[in-house]
Amino acid sequence: MKRIFLTLITALSITYSYAQSPLSFNSRLESVTVYSTGAELNHKVKVSIPAGTSEIILNNMANAIDESSIQVGVPSSVTILSTSFSRDFLKTENKSPAYIKVEDSLQIVKRELNKVQNKRIVEENLLVLLDKNQAIGGVNTGVNVAELIKVADYYKSKQLELRNNIFSLKEAEAKQQERIDRMQQQLQELSLDKTGTTGQIVLQVMATAASNADFNVSYLSPNAAWIAFYDLRAENTSSPLNIVYKANVTQSTGLDWKKVKLSLSTGNPSQNGTAPLLSAWFLEFGEPQYAYDRKKQAYQNRIQTMEARVPMNKEVMADAAQPVLSQLQGKVAGVSIIQNENMLNASFDIEIPYDIASNSKPHSVTLKEFSQPANFKYYSVPKVDGDAFLMAEITNYDKLNLLPGEANIIFENSYVGKSFIDPNATTDTLNLSMGRDKKITIKREKVAEQTGVKFIGSSKKQTFTYEIRLRNGKKEAVNLLLKDQYPVSTDKDMEVELLAAEGAAINKETGVLTWKLSLKAGATETIRISYSVKYPKDKNILNLQ
């Protein structure tokens, strides 16, 4: 009986604890790790926990959370019974001060517009009334000239006054409507600011004794990301290439990140990390689906039985799973940034606290800056584009942990345009386009006197000759990789012959011609290519040129 009584008291105390009002505490955002998609947010919360079981609400969390990623660090005297996430509905209608200011101004302008529209309508109605009452006197009543002139002057002046008023009011309406349109666009932009639309983590906890404690909370939110972009700088083709590695960070988690410790990672925690497996691919003639499923299941069972017979060395597997870490440390503009690398990704730990607003706008963060030896050369395909492009070749680029991204190009202290870095190359050398150089002129023209058609029996033979003229207008010699092409036959009735290529490396499979040229300062050079195509004269080749 005593045991039953104690059990009843315990159950009643737990029920009473749950029936109590939940305890609410505000969290403080300490640090954020931003991934290519999503971010891990880390909070600290100071809580006062009563003895027994209670419900605790942790406020100021992100507005969207992957619930499976929630982790809460608590003292050993506290046991977490359950965790859940909910939106803070009391704050969903919160608006930023800037939004409220514009919204109030918009209401004022709309009221002013309504007043102007009312005035215009009244004036237009008066004009209609005036037009309907232009009959002077009765049918059998005559009007003398003096009265007629007086009435005519009145109608003239009144109509002119009304029409001028209507015109002015329409102009005022247009201006007010323009102001309204601008304000609505501004409101649309300000609506991206998700500050105030936050979330809550609800905990059911049980404590052995009342205490004050620090809870450490971390979770993943999808509403943040970063992308890489770069500045590529070179003084000239003899100097090394200076690469400034930057990041554009955006977030709309509902929380303004204020003075947080920021890390950027090249990983993606939301991506499925399970390696795919292939099962046998059975082809059957008209067999029902259940037969296919039966054979597939039998095959998979057989594979699992075989795997079970293979002994596993768990210690070796555990050792193999440990990441190999390396650490690079440097400073960018006096800011200490530590780059950590493991087998799967790299991260950049920025030592100074950062502020990033929850408005979906990109926030620039400089990650690192380094000088890289580069081999500069020019590249041109005048058949496609008549300009010469400066290319920077760098080796050992895999150590730089570059990501695909846009790059600003500054060459010889001048901004020359944008390029794109794609480090996912399969070669040992990474080619970076440094933009067009107008000081190298290249012209490709058809030589008319050596281009024509000849008829040979039942065939015709077309000959094409092109001349490529190059001039180096720079003060120093340049190396130029020049490419052109001749056609490749796809039919036994087509005979293609390369007549002249003047020192080019020839790829017979693709028809690509490559010249490696060295042009001295102020020098000119001319290259000529010629080819012929012979085919039946009763046929046409549409893309022959």
SS (H, E, C) 39-89: EEEEEEEEEEECCEEEEEEEEEECCCCEEEEEEEECCCCEEEEEEEEEECH
Contacts of residue 545, defined as CB under 8 A and 6 or more positions apart, other chains included, come to: 464
Which run of H or E residues covers position 394?
strand 385-395
- Residue 531 pairs in a beta bridge with 464, 498
Q: Which of 197, 206, 243 is nearest to 430 (CA)?
A: 243
**pLDDT at res. 218:** 95
**pLDDT at res. 396:** 80
How far is the C-alpha of 320 from the C-alpha of 12, rounded, in Å?
51
* Greatest Cα-to-Cα distance within the chain, rounded to the nearest angstrom: 125
- Give yes or no for a contact between 201 and 66, defined as CB atoms under 8 angstroms apart: no
**pLDDT at res. 103:** 83
How far is the C-alpha of 337 from the C-alpha of 372, rounded, in Å?
19
Beta strands in 105-240 (DSSP E): 199-207, 211-221, 224-234
**pLDDT at res. 296:** 54
Which run of H or E residues covers position 262?
strand 257-265
How far is the C-alpha of 84 from the C-alpha of 205, rounded, in Å?
12
How far is the C-alpha of 150 from the C-alpha of 139, rounded, in Å?
19
How far does Cα 35 stand from its chain's mean position?
Answer: 13
Instruction: Cite the DSSP H helix spans in 432-511.
Output: none
Residues of the chain with pLDDT under 70: 1-20, 88-97, 133-143, 190-196, 270-273, 284-344, 425-426
Q: How far is CA 290 from CA 282, 284, 286, 302, in A?
A: 13, 12, 12, 18
With 0-12 CB in 10 A as exposed, 13-18 as middle and 19+ as buried, what is 345?
A: middle
